Amino acid sequence: MKKWMLLFLMLLAACGTTNVEEEEGSNGNAAPDNEEDNSTFSGYVMDQNETSILVVDRIEPDGGEPIWVSGVKEDMWLGKKVEVTIDGPVAESNPMQGEAGEVTVLDPERPEGADLTEAQALASALSEVERGNALAIESLNFDEKENQWVVKLRSTVTESGSEKVIVPDEKFEEQ
């Protein structure tokens, strides 16, 4: 009887073991369940508060992919084109949410003949519209003949259509 009991315990113990190599990372250490790769998002800052910015892809057929990024330094972010590396998990809410690891401001484009950059024109347009919903850029064009920017924005949340904002191409002082 002792032999059968010993055999049963050995069989039971063998069933409960796992292959350690399959669960460990390449360095031999087990990876924590909550560790995720950093995600990178790029787009325009369409809204902001003291330590968070709302980054939305440029023109997307389905309305853009908005993400609130917290943990950014206090600055004038509105309208700037940025690339954001998220440190940690991304909350799959609408809009998504994540903690900033690194925020890089990309060089603003200035079309030939324009006084304002894309970022300045967009910031001016955003200051004139209600930003209650996450907005995406439908189009952002400089009209050299009229010396103005034509900015079309739309909600990423509702199907309320586009809002067109005309921004005169006049240099202004940044604050």
Confidence of residue 5 (pLDDT cuts 50, 70, 90): low
Confidence band of 155 (pLDDT split at 50, 70, 90): confident
Position 138 scores a pLDDT of: 87
Q: What is the pLDDT of residue 46?
A: 93
DSSP E strand stretches across the chain? 39-48, 52-56, 67-70, 81-86, 96-105, 135-143, 148-155, 162-168
Q: What six digits make up the tokens of 114?
A: 């324009």
Label residue 17 by pLDDT band (50, 70, 90): very low
User: Residue with structure tokens 């057929």?
Assistant: 61
Closest Cα to residue 123, out of 103, 149, 98?
149
Indicate whether 149 pLDDT > 60: yes
The whole-number average pLDDT for the span 92-111 is: 92
Closest by Cα among 100, 6, 15 to 51: 100
Query: Rounded to whole angstroms, how far apart are CA atoms 65 and 137?
Result: 11
pLDDT higher at 162 or 93: 93
